[in-house]
Chain A
Amino acid sequence: MKRIFAWVSAITLAAVLLAPAASHAQLLQQPIKIVFPFAAGGGGDALARLLAEELRTALNRNVVVENKTGAGGQAGTLEVVNSAPNGDTLLLTPIAPVVLHQNIYKNLRYDPIKDLKPVALISDFEFAIAVGPAVPAKTLEELIAWMKANPTKASYGTPGAGALPHFFGVLFSKAVGVDMVHIGYRGSALALVDLISGQIPIVVTTTTDLLQNHKEGKIRILATSDSKRSPLVPEVPTFQERGYKIVGTAWYGVFAPAKTPDEVVNRYSKILSDAVKTEAMKEKLLKLGLYARGSTPEELGKLQKEHADLWKPAIEASGFKPEN
């Protein structure tokens, strides 16, 4: 017992003695903080950590990732909006908090266009539509014919209500002219369980999440959502090719507080864009189901505005209407 107490007190003492030293070093140079507004553990979080590593080597400064979760990414985004615009705080975010939320939440506490400054587009990815054993269709045309013949069965699952696959499904539903019912799951994995067992006929989600089961022949990907074919399933046509004018991709971008100086933003933009364009990084991103991009701040800003306009009608038609 005595020995245990001795150890505990020794460790406590060491911690107390070392703490001021550590905070002293921090005072000299604050670490750069990349806020990722969703939980640790997913693909986006892994991306944040990859970028942190790149910034660390390029700037020779400590870079930390903070997972500030809450309210569909609002909490983390708000934290960045409210931080000092000195280049020490960055936001890595998927599309929703900076493109969709202003059309979803009436009382959004920030304006994603005015309160944030775009830094660089990091990567993007597309969606795909897949059918399971409940539908005999082998092509998009056959699926549409089946939906028209069985309108009460035309339900589609997605990884969650209020996310892009949901809204993309709305676009598709409108383009085809069948009233498809949306079934929101908690993540792609659960939607796939029901798709494979035939409980639901159709799933719309990212191509990556569908890929494995498509290759095993348990489900069939019928079309992908980008303007060009997916490198993951080049044999599958796009919606556009088949005559449906619906295009949609999602992406990850880095943003900074609005008043961050331009020279800092440009410097980070170059570092990050150059980093994701290396072969090694491209490969790492592809493993996460992401295509490496990179961009100037202006290009990201343009994309942000374009996409906000693109999704607005789909959001309004989706019935996803939170009050706050």
Chain B
Amino acid sequence: MTEIFANLIFGLSIAITPTNIALCLIGALAGTLVGVLPGIGPLATIAMLLPVTFGLPPVGALIMLAGVFYGAMYGGSTTAILVNIPGEAASVVTTLDGFQMAQQGRAGPALAIAAIGSFFAGCVATVLIALLAGPLTQFAFFFGQAEYFALMTLGLVLAIVLANGPVSKSTLMVLAGIVLSMVSADVDTGQSRMTFGKFELSDGFGFIIVAMGVFGVAEIIKNLLKPSARELIAEKVTNLMPTRRDLADAAPAIARGTILGSLLGILPGGGAILSSFASYTLEKKLSKTPERFGKGAIEGVAGPESANNAASQTSFIPLLTLGIPANAVMALMIGAMTLHGITPGPQVATKQPDLFWGLIASMWVGNLMLLVINLPLIGIWVRLLRVPYRLLYPMILMFCCIGVYSLNTSTFEIMLALAFGLFGYWLYKHDFEAAPLLLGFILGPMMEESLRKAMSLARGDVLEILMRPLTGTLLALAAILLVAAILPTVRKQRETVFVE
């Protein structure tokens, strides 16, 4: 216990250096901004900001990128409450009661409770990360290549099962992601695979290019084709303070949302979106007056907002301890670490304690900053919502292009990113979710490498791999989950959950 506190204090000492505080602030503000603005999410923003971080020290870069992520969770609620548009996918449920509260003239308390709930969840999640990171890292050292392969397989299956929409579509997306990731030179023999003899493809598709195309460019096309009327409910938000009654109603919801979000965040594929939905459903079920939900119940704001923030933070746990991304944003963080010469995995905690604990402590610092800064800034965010999209999107597109070009000074890659943008739009048009694609794209090569290493070490003996207790258990679990998700009864239940 004392060790954890010592570690957290060590982390704080790194997180509060002037540079890192500044980077944390920039990240959190940029995150809030994209959270507020509908149409660009944290994924696209992190993808766009990645090249900018090249010149920064790795700790600062990751602190900033993490700030974008949880900043967006805060910002998303602002738009959801004031404009009835989710600024960010995870705040879809917040629109239900948040906007109702705003229409009743209680936008202030709704925003305040969302911020307070998020802050509380952020604090708890930070402590949770600190508590779990050490033991999990130790545990990870027992993992061999076969175990990693099994764990990632389980992760992908979970991502499929927990994704919105039919299992068949998310399976297809994960597989498509894996196939895309196989375009490159074979890891063991150097042979080119699926490059069509193109020299530029011999290193495969850069993941920034895929992410920026599928999330950044596709988002822009999507928004341009769907002009949204924005009705601003509140010109000026006054009276931020929630009443005593509000606090009493919200407090248990915040606590439950935090717990639920923390748990779901660790699971691969779960993350912020699922946890906010789950929290809303839970609050409605537990409430003595479920009829108030959808009509401005403060629990309906407090629970999901706490849950999505807790989940967005605990999803760092598998990344920091095992080097395995739990969701698409974490997949981008892996990319960011790799670009900075850090190999994600259990060795990060021991080899780069400054990065490990600095990042964890910075999350708490960032949450505090967001709470202090954002409530007074709500006026500015509201005004930003009035900037017409026709002025915004050329800037975003330009930034994307510069970002891609700065990676390898290659115009071919810009064209590639734009092509992935069209592909991403096509996916959206046909109701395919792009997040499982990116997850498959990142996990694909890692799984391939682990499997091939495990096979080489076992001299090609599959049974030897399956007989390893941990590997066998994990793979069996994955198989059971997948079968269960396809079974008709479970499928029906799963669908009703997502409908709610």
Contact = CB atoms under 8 A, between A and B. Distances in A.
B300 to A, nearest CB: 32
B141 A184 contact: no
Nearest to A212: B351
A189 B343 contact: yes
A322 B187 contact: no
Interface residues of A, number: 42
A215 to B, nearest CB: 14
B199 to A, nearest CB: 6
Contact of A70 (B202, B380, B383): B202
A83 interface: no
Nearest to A109: B199
A71 B409 contact: no
B431 interface: no
Nearest to B197: A324
A59 B454 CA distance: 53
Contacts of B339: 39, 41
Given A69-B408, A152-B459, A183-B456, A199 B190 contact: no
Interface in A154-183: 155, 160-162, 181-183
A185 B446 CA distance: 10
Interface string B348-363: 0001000000000000
Given A66-B409, A190-B345, A321-B189, A71 B199 contact: yes
Interface string B192-207: 1001010110110000
Interface in B383-409: 383-384, 386-387, 408-409
Interface in B195-238: 195, 197, 199-200, 202-203
B190 A181 contact: no
A80 to B, nearest CB: 13
B190 A193 contact: no
Contacts of A181: 456-457, 459
Contacts of B190: 72, 104, 161-162, 320-322
Interface string A53-82: 000000000000010111110110000000
B340 A41 contact: yes
Mostly, the A contact residues are loop
Contacts of A319: 188-189
Interface in B119-163: 141-145
A182 to B, nearest CB: 8
Nearest to B147: A199
A320 B341 CA distance: 25
Given A161-B188, A322-B192, A194 B145 contact: yes
Nearest to B146: A199
Contacts of A189: 343, 345, 347, 351
Given A161-B187, A199-B457, A322-B185, A186 B145 contact: no
A68 B189 contact: no
B440 to A, nearest CB: 18
Contacts of B141: 193, 196-197
A187 B188 CA distance: 14
Interface string A283-324: 000000000000000000000000000000000000111111
B453 interface: yes
A20 interface: no
A68 B408 CA distance: 6
- In this complex, the member of B141, B197, B383 whose beta carbon has the largest number of chain A beta carbons within 10 angstroms is B141
A323 B191 contact: yes
A322 B459 contact: no
A241 B408 CA distance: 44
Given A320-B189, A322-B192, A190 B144 contact: no
Given A41-B341, A109-B199, A183 B453 contact: yes
Interface residues of B, number: 41
B426 interface: no
Given A71-B199, A155-B456, A199-B144, A322 B345 contact: no
A40 B341 CA distance: 8
Contacts of B386: 1
Contacts of A193: 141, 345-347
A208 to B, nearest CB: 14
A41 B350 CA distance: 20
Contacts of B189: 161, 319-322
A289 B345 CA distance: 23
A99 interface: no
B457 A183 contact: yes
Given A161-B187, A190-B343, A199-B145, A324 B192 contact: yes
A166 B11 CA distance: 38
B185 to A, nearest CB: 6
Chain B CB count within 10 A is highest, among A155, A197, A199, for A199
B246 interface: no
Contacts of B384: 1
Nearest to B387: A1
A71 B184 CA distance: 9
B54 interface: yes
Nearest to A324: B192
Given A161-B190, A187-B343, A71 B457 contact: no
B457 A186 contact: no
A42 B203 contact: no
Contacts of A324: 192, 195, 197, 199, 202
Contacts of B340: 41
A129 interface: no
Interface in B432-481: 449, 453, 456-457, 459
A192 interface: yes
Nearest to A105: B190
Contacts of B200: 70
A200 interface: yes
A228 B190 CA distance: 32
A40 B197 CA distance: 27
A74 B195 CA distance: 16
3 closest Cβ contacts across the A-B interface? A322-B190, A41-B341, A199-B144
Given A70-B203, A152-B459, A319-B189, 6 more contacts: A42-B341, A72-B202, A104-B190, A183-B457, A200-B457, A324-B199
Interface of A: 1, 39-42, 66, 68-72, 74-75, 104, 109, 152, 155, 160-162, 181-187, 189-190, 192-194, 196-197, 199-200, 319-324
8 contacts: A1-B380, A1-B383, A41-B339, A68-B408, A68-B409, A184-B187, A185-B453, A319-B188
